[in-house]
Amino acid sequence: MTATAEEIKTVADVLDKARIGLLTTVDEAGHLVCRPLALVDQDFAGSVWFFVQKDSHKVHDIESNPQVNVGVDTSKGWLSISGTASLTTDAAKIDELWNTGAEAWFDQGRDDPQVALLEVEAHTVESWTSTEPKAITLLKYAKAAATGGHPENVGENATIQL
């Protein structure tokens, strides 16, 4: 990783508030397809994780083209995570990350033959974050609209190389 500790913390802070990631893949016809998936809650160490069914369109897309994007939007900011996806059925990793949310999607629990984990190893993260309360940010937008200007100092944008 070439990202600084502060950049990793920026990503981790947004992900800590996130529950859903919008996974974008490229289908067999070359079209972009985006779908919401529950993020596995864990400390960010360069990858984001999802439980998926092995026999699904998203997995077939990834087998053909593992380059994906994950979009995340929270009260802390917005992330666009570009990376490479891979699938694992490693029982130890499934046990480590298993949660009640995953339980709802697999009839036979963690032993369901369709259970798999999708790891997206991040290459770059585009982040937009704000440390101000939303009310202050909205006031800046309102002021800009009323005066015909543009909102100023409403957040920070960065491209983080991992």
Scanning 25-90, the segments in alpha helix (DSSP H) are: 57-64
Scanning 1-132, the segments in alpha helix (DSSP H) are: 5-17, 57-64, 91-97, 100-103
Q: Is the pLDDT of residue 144 over 80?
A: no
Full-model pTM: 0.88
Level-2 CATH architecture, domain 5-161? Roll (2.30)
pLDDT of residue 25: 98
Domain boundaries, given as residue ranges, for the chain: 5-161
Across 71-97, average pLDDT? 96
Question: Tens of pLDDT along 35-49?
Answer: 999 999 889 999 999
